[in-house]
């Protein structure tokens, strides 16, 4: 159609049925006519618009991926280590090589579970020998004392399903260094030298103890005396649910002098230590960290996530905080979590630069804290918490919660004012401020629907992956997360916004409004949604709201620059301006997301087969990237040939699925020493005996109990170990019939790891002495009966208790205070008790008081007693050894012999 001479463009627009649904409508026009239409339409509304080509947005996506990749590479950078040969050039510096040498000696002892000779004798002797040598060479300006504590006690722990922790004769090595003139104030530094079963415990937590030895050496040789004391605690029972730290903080003679603490832990091997818990209160602790450490890595967001219980783990930080009423800082390595708590946790997995980085951070921080005025009067400086995060590991940003509220509220007000300005300068006839805000709120609702639809789509994709039996492809190669779940997280919102945005906001009326207005409404509606989220963070005191505030602020700056510098030129310039304004929050969020994935991905390999890891990981990943990409989605409305972007992303997704299904590239595990991602197998050889109410043996079984630690267990290795074909899943019927499914759970995790398997075998070749004797029953006042027991068994015992209907537990000798309940079983409360004896095993005697109504007839309680041989020559049976030898090199194993006895009384 050709315009006649003097024919107005408005008539031509009408003839073409020009509806501005996308820039494709102009493709039928010659270039000179198309430019004229653009000029007329946009000038008539006070704006100028030159649609951007699709390559602009695709290039933005590519550059964003490249930036993320660079950040991931930089995350692995570590400082140059100081070695013994060149330490003379670095006086008073932490020497990484000497710390690693300490760790080599400690791990050469072997695994060090509590109660083993390796932990209770050899490790203690090694550490004491090193400490005595350091004391001998110390500068005379310091007073140094040491103590070997043997301690017994008990406490309740609301961790996992909840438990009562009872310990006997666990050990602590304690060293105190301070001024010659005794101070009443001390800073505590903590590590643990014990390890889990079968693991040499290099990173968890032998390396921290090795670093502490070197820190003690450096500090002891300083000429300047300390103003207060530093107590170095080498605790010998952390893996037993933090028993030794409890014994120290509640019973040691030096514990009362502690004013603050530093806890050093690991949930991975190497990398950078992150400060993920600080406080409670006492903002001066974080300020000291910010002022002194050369390589900061910290986040209050990490603290809120960890303390929410999402991550199934805990540290001695909880013990010092809850039982010692002391505030402190909690550090942990998180890289390479694949080897955590496995045989693969060896010295060679920890780069020398990691030792140096941690030492270089800890040394100035310790000296700052111990010599500060605050530690001498901690109550004076105890008020308030801080919002904090590091910027790409360069520096720490922190402010008080009060200032955080002021900043967040200011961001909210300024952002609302900018949106109000946009509403009053619409330049669209008949479109009022009220209409603008109404449309913005509609767009906010649309965004919520888009988020829900995106998450639903991601859930469907993950279920498709499960149906195709391609689960956990991202476990060994996290890049699969980008192709399978991040790509649709970008694609789906953009498609929905283009296809349904205009109709959702305006219906048929919207065909008369320019696409640039649709962009403004979408942009400001998204901003309004995040303003409401930020306001919610303020009201609920969520410190992680700083991330939302940063995005909202950057988006506000972008809007202001669009209105002023570009003068409402809604073309490719806006696209690149907005991308540039959002670069800082994108880099920060990508930095934090990378750290989160480093932690979470390996956890999915040990979180149990019943947790639907594929769906959980896909939704977590999509949710994390939704915040980032929500602020980019409106840009798609400025594109010409937008289908090019959609088709490009769709092709990436389709090709990824084809590669996943038809090639071995999605195999989830790796035994490559340079890229370890092993599948974990925890298997116990168990003898089970069940006794009836009359004391007779009602059932007896022997078998291998396979604790499924991921969704592919145990069928993933059946072709390597054919006997696993005989493995049967523990049924719900068995769990309904027997307390804790009649299985020797080592820790209370039935709500986390409930899907397990069993293979019948011949009896154990060694006897595990395990018995529970009711020594007497004492009838007391008010229907109370006291049942006294004597339990015999190995040095690790678990005791589970459930009471029949009508019976209540009034008291027991296991711990002071009200007995801590666990999950319900058949509608009845359960109680889980963990007992360990590190030395001099004797019978475990205790009593319980139960209230039994006079009308009650029949059984009163049900008890499960488990004994675990977790070290020594009888830890492995021939059946365990045979099975483990059959498994492929991309697996790692943990095993022991166990006995379980069930009693009804």
DSSP output for 216-245: HHHHHT-SSPPSSEEEEEEES-STTTSHHH
User: What mean pLDDT is reported for the chain?
Assistant: 91
Domain annotation covers residue 207 = yes
3-state helix, strand, coil in the chain (%, to 5): 45, 20, 30
- pLDDT tens string 352-378: 999 999 999 999 999 999 999 999 999
User: What is the rounded CA–CA span in Å between residue 3 and residue 32?
Assistant: 12
Tell me the average pLDDT across 641-645.
90
Clarify whether residues 470 and 589 are in a common domain.
Answer: yes
The predicted structure's pLDDT at residue 312: 73
Confidence label for 36 from pLDDT (cuts 50, 70 and 90): very low
Is residue 880 within 8 Å of 870, Cβ to Cβ?
Answer: no
- pLDDT tens string 566-594: 887 777 889 999 999 999 999 999 999 99
Ramachandran quadrant class, 580 (left: phi over 0; alpha: psi -120 to 50; beta: rest):
alpha
Tell me the average pLDDT across 112-126.
98
pLDDT at 37 over 50: no
Confidence label for 49 from pLDDT (cuts 50, 70 and 90): low
Q: How far is CA 863 from CA 232, 699, 804, in A?
A: 41, 15, 11
Specify the pTM. Answer: 0.91
Q: Which residues pair with 190 in a beta bridge?
A: 233, 263
pLDDT at 638 over 90: no
Domain annotation covers residue 222 = yes
Positive or negative torsion for Cα 868, 874, 877, 882 = positive
User: What is the rounded CA–CA span in Å between residue 873 and residue 90?
Assistant: 46
- pLDDT tens string 458-474: 999 999 999 999 999 99
Domain annotation covers residue 293 = yes
Q: Look at the block and give the residue holding tokens 């909880």.
A: 318
- pLDDT tens string 233-256: 999 999 999 999 999 999 999 999
Clarify whether residues 726 and 609 are in a common domain.
Answer: no
Clarify whether residues 654 and 686 are in a common domain.
Answer: no
Q: Active-site residue numbers? A: 238
Confidence label for 717 from pLDDT (cuts 50, 70 and 90): very high
CB burial of 695-724 (b: ≥16 within 10 Å; e: otherwise) equals eeeeeeebbbbbbbbbbbbbebbeeebeeb
Is residue 797 within 8 Å of 804, Cβ to Cβ?
Answer: no
Domain annotation covers residue 62 = no
Residue 864: closest CA among 899, 815, 897: 899
pLDDT over 90 percentage in the chain: 80
Domain annotation covers residue 3 = no
Clarify whether residues 130 and 257 are in a common domain.
Answer: yes
Residue ranges making up the domain that contains 600:
402-662
Q: How far is CA 477 from CA 46, 474, 626, 667, in A?
A: 51, 5, 22, 9
User: At how many degrees (to 10) do helices 515-539 and 433-467 cross?
Assistant: 80
Clarify whether residues 453 and 340 are in a common domain.
Answer: no
- pLDDT tens string 753-766: 899 999 999 988 88
The predicted structure's pLDDT at residue 509: 63
Clarify whether residues 319 and 268 are in a common domain.
Answer: yes
Domain annotation covers residue 406 = yes
Clarify whether residues 605 and 689 are in a common domain.
Answer: no
Q: Of 601, 628, 662, which residue is a domain's last?
A: 662
The predicted structure's pLDDT at residue 510: 57
Contacts 24+ apart (CB under 8 A), 370-373: 370/187, 370/226, 370/227, 370/228, 370/229, 370/230, 371/226, 371/227, 371/228, 372/284, 372/288
The predicted structure's pLDDT at residue 641: 87
User: What is the rounded CA–CA span in Å between residue 720 and residue 291?
Assistant: 55
* Count of domains for the chain: 3
HSE-CB of 456 using CA atoms within 13 angstroms: 7
Tell me the average pLDDT across 604-626.
90
Is residue 79 within 8 Å of 293, Cβ to Cβ?
Answer: no
Clarify whether residues 257 and 203 are in a common domain.
Answer: yes
Confidence label for 512 from pLDDT (cuts 50, 70 and 90): low
Neighbours of 860 (CB within 10 A): 18
305: CATH = 3.40.630.10
- pLDDT tens string 164-195: 999 999 999 999 999 999 899 999 999 999 99
Clarify whether residues 654 and 692 are in a common domain.
Answer: no
- pLDDT tens string 848-901: 999 999 999 999 999 999 999 999 998 999 999 999 999 999 999 999 999 999
Q: Of 662, 688, 712, which residue is a domain's last?
A: 662
Domain annotation covers residue 151 = yes
Q: Of 384, 417, 446, which residue is a domain's last?
A: 384
The predicted structure's pLDDT at residue 514: 79
pLDDT at 531 over 80: yes
pLDDT at 38 over 70: no
Domain annotation covers residue 837 = yes
Clarify whether residues 787 and 702 are in a common domain.
Answer: yes
Clarify whether residues 635 and 714 are in a common domain.
Answer: no
Confidence label for 32 from pLDDT (cuts 50, 70 and 90): very low
- pLDDT tens string 475-491: 999 999 999 999 999 99
Clarify whether residues 247 and 367 are in a common domain.
Answer: yes
């Amino acid at each position: 159609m050709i315009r006649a001479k003097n024919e107005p463009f408005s008539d031509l627009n009408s003839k073409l049925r020009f509806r501005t649904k996308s820039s494709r409508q102009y493709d039928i026009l010659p270039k000179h006519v198309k430019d004229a239409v653009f000029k007329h339409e946009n000038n008539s509304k006070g704006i100028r618009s030159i649609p951007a080509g699709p390559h602009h947005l695709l290039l933005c996506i590519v550059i964003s991926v490249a930036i993320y990749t660079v950040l991931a590479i930089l995350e692995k950078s570590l400082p140059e280590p100081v070695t013994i040969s060149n330490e003379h050039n670095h006086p008073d510096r932490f020497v990484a090589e000497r710390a690693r040498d300490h760790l080599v000696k400690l791990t050469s002892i072997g695994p060090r579970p509590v109660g083993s000779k390796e932990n209770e004798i050899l490790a203690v002797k090694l550490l004491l020998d090193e400490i005595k040598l350091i004391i001998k060479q110390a500068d005379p300006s310091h007073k140094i004392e040491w103590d070997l504590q043997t301690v017994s006690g008990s406490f309740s722990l609301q961790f996992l399903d909840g438990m009562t922790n009872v310990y006997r004769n666990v050990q602590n090595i304690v060293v105190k260094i301070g001024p010659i003139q005794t101070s009443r104030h001390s800073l505590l530094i903590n590590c643990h030298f014990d390890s889990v079963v079968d693991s040499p415990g290099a990173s968890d937590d032998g390396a921290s103890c090795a670093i502490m030895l070197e820190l003690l050496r450096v500090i002891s040789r300083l000429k300047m005396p300390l103003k207060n004391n530093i107590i170095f605690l080498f605790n010998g029972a952390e893996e037993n649910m933090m028993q030794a730290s409890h014994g120290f903080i509640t019973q040691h003679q030096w514990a009362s002098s502690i004013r603050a603490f530093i806890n050093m832990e690991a949930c991975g091997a190497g990398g950078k230590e992150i400060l993920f818990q600080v406080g409670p209160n006492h903002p001066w602790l974080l300020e000291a960290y910010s002022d002194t450490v050369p390589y900061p890595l910290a986040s209050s967001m990490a603290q809120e996530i960890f303390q929410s219980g999402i991550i199934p783990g805990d540290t001695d930080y909880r013990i010092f905080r809850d039982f010692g009423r002391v505030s402190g800082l909690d550090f942990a390595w998180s890289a390479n979590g694949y080897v955590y708590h496995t045989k693969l946790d060896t010295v060679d997995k920890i780069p020398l630069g990691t030792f140096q980085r941690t030492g270089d951070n800890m040394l100035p921080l310790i000296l700052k804290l111990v010599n500060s005025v605050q530690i001498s009067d901690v109550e004076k400086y105890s008020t308030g918490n801080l919002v904090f995060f590091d910027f790409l590991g360069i520096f720490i940003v922190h402010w008080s919660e009060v200032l955080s509220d002021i900043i967040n509220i200011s961001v909210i007000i300024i952002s609302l004012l900018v949106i109000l300005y946009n509403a009053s300068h619409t330049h669209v006839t008949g479109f009022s401020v009220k209409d603008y805000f109404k449309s913005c709120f509609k767009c906010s609702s649309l965004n919520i629907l888009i988020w829900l639809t995106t998450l639903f789509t991601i859930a469907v994709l993950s279920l498709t992956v499960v149906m195709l039996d391609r689960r956990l492809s991202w476990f060994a190669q996290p890049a699969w997360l980008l192709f399978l779940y991040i790509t649709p997280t970008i694609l789906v919102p953009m498609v929905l916004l283009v296809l349904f945005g205009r109709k959702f906001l305006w219906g048929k009326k919207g065909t008369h409004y320019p696409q640039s207005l649709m962009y403004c409404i979408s942009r400001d509606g998204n901003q309004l949604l995040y303003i409401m989220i930020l306001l919610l963070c303020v009201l609920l005191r969520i410190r992680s709201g700083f991330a939302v505030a940063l995005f909202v602020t950057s988006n506000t700056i972008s809007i202001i620059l669009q209105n002023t510098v570009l003068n409402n030129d809604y073309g490719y310039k806006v696209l690149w301006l907005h991308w540039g304004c959002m670069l800082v929050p994108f880099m920060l969020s990508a930095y934090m997301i990378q750290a989160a994935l480093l932690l979470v991905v390996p956890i999915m390999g040990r979180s149990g087969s019943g947790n639907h890891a594929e769906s959980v990981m896909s939704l977590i990943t999509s949710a994390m990237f939704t915040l980032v990409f929500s602020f980019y989605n409106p840009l798609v409305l400025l594109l010409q040939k937008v289908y090019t972007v959609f088709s490009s992303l769709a092709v990436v997704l389709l090709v990824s699925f084809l590669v996943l299904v038809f090639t071995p590239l999605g195999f989830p595990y790796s035994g490559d020493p340079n890229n370890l991602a092993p599948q974990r197998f925890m298997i116990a050889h168990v003898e089970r005996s069940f006794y009836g109410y009359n004391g007779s043996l009602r059932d007896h079984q022997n078998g291998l109990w396979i604790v499924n630690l991921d969704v592919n267990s145990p069928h993933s290795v059946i072709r390597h170990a054919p006997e696993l074909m005989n493995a049967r899943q523990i049924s719900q019927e068995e769990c309904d019939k027997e307390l804790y499914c009649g299985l020797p759970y080592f820790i209370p995790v039935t709500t986390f790891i409930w899907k397990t398997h069993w293979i019948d075998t011949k009896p154990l070749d060694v006897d595990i002495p395990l018995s529970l004797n009711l020594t007497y029953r004492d009838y007391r006042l008010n229907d109370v009966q006291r049942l006294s027991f004597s339990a015999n068994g190995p040095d690790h015992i678990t005791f589970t208790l459930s009471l029949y209907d009508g019976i209540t537990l009034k008291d027991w000798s296991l711990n002071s205070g009200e007995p801590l309940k666990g999950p319900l079983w058949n509608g009845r409360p359960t109680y889980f008790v963990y007992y360990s004896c590190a030395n001099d095993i004797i019978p475990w005697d205790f009593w319980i008081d139960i209230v039994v109504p006079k009308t009650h007839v029949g059984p009163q309680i049900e008890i499960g007693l488990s004994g675990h041989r977790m070290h020594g020559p009888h830890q492995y049976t021939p059946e365990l050894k045979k099975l483990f030898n059959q498994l492929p090199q991309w697996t790692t194993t943990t095993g022991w012999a166990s006995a379980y006895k069930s009693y009804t009384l």
